[in-house]
Amino acid sequence: MNSLQTWRVRASSCALIAAAVFGATLPLLAHHSFTMFDMTKRITLNGAVTSFEWTNPHAYIEIDAPDEKGAMKHWSIELGSPSILMQSGWKFNSIKSGDKVTLIINPLKSGQSGGFLSQATLTDGKVLTNGPRQEPPPAPQK
């Protein structure tokens, strides 16, 4: 057994079990599983943010953006919690209402206009992911 396999075997949280199923780069949810989202599908949303909610148990981006067929819709996009997001560079004011952003999301399996954030490109071009990924951490310090 190599060290990556060992790491996976030792995974104990729901998020890590999910990571073992979907691959080692799944984001983290403390609060519920990913099952309602289609983690194999990605949709890109280009639109204007109507609100950014820096709240628990999740942050949300509300955005007006066209769907894949070009029809304008309103979308509710779920992010990790502020705690998790801060570990990958987010701040409470990273996004403001009216910002034009590009979001890559995993859509709801139900087909409703909602999803789970994979990656956000902000107005200044900065790219932020939805919290740290479950990639093996670097070697410990001496």
Q: How far apart (Å, rounded) are the C-alpha atoms in residues 35 and 123?
A: 31
CA–CA separation, 132 and 130 (whole Å)? 7
Contact 38, 82 (CB under 8 A): no
Q: Taking Cα atoms as reference points, which of 4, 108, 91, 98 lies closest to residue 49?
A: 98
User: What is the smallest separation between the CB atom of 135 and other proteins, expressed in angstroms?
Assistant: 8
In the complex with other proteins, which residue's Cβ is closer, 38 or 125? 38
107 binds other proteins (CB under 8 A): no
7 binds other proteins, rule: CB under 8 A: yes
Which of 41, 46, 57, 89 is in the footprint of other proteins by CB under 8 A?
57
Asked if 38 is part of the footprint of other proteins (rule: CB under 8 A), the reply reads yes
Q: Find the helix packing angle between 14-22 and 3-10, rounded to 10°.
A: 140
Residue ranges in contact with other proteins by CB under 8 A: 2-4, 6-7, 9-13, 15, 28-33, 35-36, 38, 50, 53, 55-58, 60, 62, 74, 76, 78, 81-84, 86-87, 108-109, 112-114, 132, 135-141
